[in-house]
Structure 1
Amino acid sequence: MATVDAILAAKYPAKVHARRVAQALQAQGEAGAIYLEAQKTRMIEDNDEAMPFRQRRPFFYLTGCPEPDASMVYDVKADELTLFIPPIDPDSVIWSGLPLSPEEAAKLYDVDRVLYTSEVNATLASIASTQGGKTVAFAIEEQVSEGIQFKGFSQTNFNVLKKAIGDARVVKDAYEIALLRKANDISAKGHIAAIKAARTATNEREVEAAWMQTCIANGCKEQSYHPIFAGGANGATLHYVKNDEYLVDQATKQRKGNLLIDAGGEYRTYCADITRVVPLAGRFPTETRQIYEIVLQMQAACIAMLKEGVRWDDVHAQAHRIAIKGLLKLGILRGSEEELFEKRVSVAFFPHGLGHYLGMDTHDTGGYPNYEDSDKMFRYLRVRGILPAGSVITVEPGIYFCRFIIDPVLKSAELSKYIDADVLERYWDVGGVRIEDNVHITKDGHDNLTSAPKAIEEVESLAQ
């Protein structure tokens, strides 16, 4: 079997992606050409510096090109992919050096030819004339620059290309899996560095700094999302981003019990998304360890269910059933397992979805969530329906102690009887425990791409 680095030594498979998307478009009309633009260079308001650059994902998927201000045309019938790059600007060369030449770009990217952007309209017109003007040009309306013309095509469809690309991105090829595995491998190193840094850190930002240094040093210069470093009760905030509070109580000088780390590096546009919880004093406090064990059970059971054709809604429901069983055992919940499930009491402790598709975006395309769902257990589930082979999904169960969510249940005449407030009182300082891995769905099972340590003994050993 080829290694990750051996796979990634080849070109990103842009032509295969273009063919896949074109095939999906045929149902919308005779596809003649696909046109996409890269993200433009944009200047910071009231400043002469460019904004941080993030390539448009549809464009990257069909070109593998990370350059700004470029564009592409795919001639469907001729199966010809053309990349267009900006011509040389002599004034810019003084400051930034020479850009890629067409010859250099042709060697880097899986395209048939490379031209300058000044030749886009002529190329489109040539395709239309060759095909007799009876075919459709597909583009994304809000991503077409002024001056681009689709003369000669019978129609320009701006409505379906973005969705077609989004749906195609759900199933990854071997190259994309290698990119995701690489992002995970580097991120695992970052998590280990963060766990070690947490031994002596006095502020959340010190741990974040160790994480960032390791990611950048190993090839993940960009982050998949704003990382989370949440000490103690801060872990109850699902998307905590301050990362600047003390890990030592300023009054008692005692270290907080644990630190939740949700962080993933981005490698060549593909994302990792990993969450771990770290004991700040070398060993987990009793209450945190109890919750950690439940969440680990939730994740293990859910991952064991995964294979092609599994309904994600069912996996999510299974996570709630295991959470209920565990919280009942601790005495936090009261009542029968089935009644607690039917009343959705566990949603107060596990309010988010079990996971989401992962790829070029952290919350990747194709999940079709229903945020209007009247069933609060599934309202924030970002993927609904059947998992196909080739998809990559995060499995991230969690249990949280957030007063904003739990207090209304404690005050509810109908639901308060299901929670023992006296037992619950011992767990507020836990904040939250979430464990998240990135899993590749296969025909007969699954492949966990995440190697960051999560076993209690291993995490405690690193934290000591």
Structure 2
Amino acid sequence: MATVDAILADQYPAKSHARRVAALLQAHHGDSAPGVIYLEAQKTRLIEDNDEAMPFRQRRFFYYLSGCSLPDSSLIYDINADKLTLFIPPTDPEDVIWSGLPLSADEALKLYDVDSVLATTEVNATLQSIGSRYGGSAVAFMIAGQVSIETKFQGFMDTNLSALKGVIEKTRVVKDAYEIALLKTANDISAKAHIAAIKASKTATNEREIEGAFIATCIAYGAREQSYHPIVACGANGATLHYGKNNSDLIDPVTKERKTNVLIDAGAEYRAYCSDITRVFPLGGKFTTETRQIYEIVLQMQMECITMLKGGIQWENVHAHAHRVAIKGLLALGILLGSENELFEKRISVAFFPHGLGHYLGMDTHDTGGDPNYGDKDSMFKYLRVRGRLPAGSVVTVEPGIYFCRFIIDPYTQSPDLGKHIDTNVLERYWSVGGVRIEDNIHITRDGYENLTTAPKTIEEVESLAL
């Protein structure tokens, strides 16, 4: 089997992606007419009231069929001719003064998996030529809201703005070997950054110092961008699922003692592909008894769910199993009261595990194709970002958690029916835990899975790093 470095030494497989999209597009569209796919890169935009460009993030649909990270570019895939043409901005002498020479057409042709590279000034002429060649019978497939007004489709029978986006979203779910290699690299860089963050916590006095250590390590290893803004939540802050302030002191202002633990949810983005990893570690080297107990339950939730994974597994069943493990663990601690089945049927565990087990991962952190149903009346499944069976080749996060958030739990304890299943006296000892979530990125294979995440997560590993 080829190594990650060997795979990534080749070109990003844009042409293969274009063919896959075209095949699914024609199968779904049911049209025998010749067609082209037309996509535009993200435009350069200036910061309001400023002459500097806004931070750039390439459009993922464009990148998937080009592998090109240049702004202001375009592509045309002539489906019948199997020809992929990339259009890049022409040289602007004014810009060269400040930014140097841009990528040339010859350099781009060597760098990207395309058949031809032209200047963006040639887009309309190329479209007109294709339209004429097919005698006005061709259809152009585009994405609504992502086509410049100056782009003209002269000689085309029709333009379709509705089909392409959904087809690319479905195609992106199943990753090829090159994409898996990119995801592995993003995970490996993130693992180094998580270790650096744990070590930084030994002397840190504020959450932002831990965040800084994570980001600095990612940049040092070649991942300048983050998949999302990191979550660095100490103590009770960990009960907020998407906590983003990252500015709390690690010393409790009341007790003057160092807080107990930190939840860090952070992942590097490498060449447009994301990682998404969550770890919890102690401040001071050792977990408190309560945090350790919850950590053991969450780790058991995750490990059992991961072992269930393989191509064709029903994701809802895996998610439900995580809840059953949580119920068993919280019963053993005395936090929950009653029978396992009754607690499951009454959805009591949702008070402590309110979110979905995971989501697809790829060029977006919450990647395409999950088909969520946020209108589901069942509280256990309402926030699942993935529904249905997982195909082999997909990549999914597995991120169970147990949280102690008063806003979520109080309605349960105050309910005459549900409150009898929660021992508030025992619960009192766990509020300071905040939240524990453990998240890995899993590649689904035909007969099992491959864990792409190498960041330490056993209690012994984490404590040894935090000492």
1:33 is aligned to 2:25: no
Out of 264, 268, 272, the residue aligned to residue 269 of structure 1 is 272
Amino acid at match of 2:406: R
3-state SS of the aligned residue for 1:141?
coil
Shift in Å, 1:133? 2.1
3-state SS of the aligned residue for 2:145?
helix
1:294 is aligned to 2:297: yes
- 1:404 is matched with 407
- 2:142 is matched with 139
3-state SS of the aligned residue for 1:127?
helix
- 2:192 is matched with 189
Out of 427, 431, 436, the residue aligned to residue 424 of structure 1 is 427
Out of 92, 97, 104, the residue aligned to residue 94 of structure 1 is 97
- 1:23 is matched with 23
**Cα pair 1:371 1:379 within 8 Å, conserved:** yes
Question: CA 1:31/1:392 → structure 2, altered by over 3 Å: closer, same or farther?
Answer: farther
Q: Distance in 2 between matches of 1:112 and 1:233?
A: 55
Q: Deviations over 1:76-132 (max 9, x none)?
A: 011000000111111111111111110111111000010001111111111122222
**Cα pair 2:34 2:137 within 8 Å, conserved:** no
Amino acid at match of 2:394: S
- 2:221 is matched with 218
**Cα pair 2:39 2:76 within 8 Å, conserved:** yes
Amino acid at match of 1:52: P
- 2:10 is matched with 10
Unmatched segments (≥5 aa) in structure 2: none
Amino acid at match of 2:22: A
Fraction of identical pairs, as percent:
73
- Displaced runs of 4 or more, over 6 A: none
Q: Distance in 1 between matches of 2:261 and 2:327?
A: 23
**Cα pair 2:34 2:134 within 8 Å, conserved:** no
Shift in Å, 1:31? 4.7
Q: What TM-score do the two structures reach when normalised by structure 2?
A: 0.99
Q: Distance in 2 between matches of 1:152 and 1:442?
A: 45
Amino acid at match of 1:7: I
**Cα pair 1:258 1:278 within 8 Å, conserved:** yes
1:238 is aligned to 2:241: yes
3-state SS of the aligned residue for 1:63?
coil
3-state SS of the aligned residue for 1:169?
helix
Q: Distance in 1 between matches of 2:98 and 2:138?
A: 44
Equivalent residues in 2 for 1:428-439 (5 A)? 428-439=431-442
Q: What TM-score do the two structures reach when normalised by structure 1?
A: 0.99
Amino acid at match of 1:431: G
Equivalent residues in 2 for 1:315-464 (5 A)? 315-464=318-467
Amino acid at match of 1:23: A
Q: Distance in 1 between matches of 2:144 and 2:112?
A: 25
Q: Distance in 2 between matches of 1:311 and 1:293?
A: 25
Shift in Å, 1:252? 2.7
**Cα pair 2:319 2:357 within 8 Å, conserved:** yes
Out of 134, 157, 160, the residue aligned to residue 157 of structure 1 is 160
- 1:118 is matched with 121
Q: Deviations over 1:291-339 (max 9, x none)?
A: 0000000000000000000000000000000000000000000001001
Amino acid at match of 2:380: M
Unmatched segments (≥5 aa) in structure 1: none
3-state SS of the aligned residue for 2:65?
helix
3-state SS of the aligned residue for 2:263?
strand
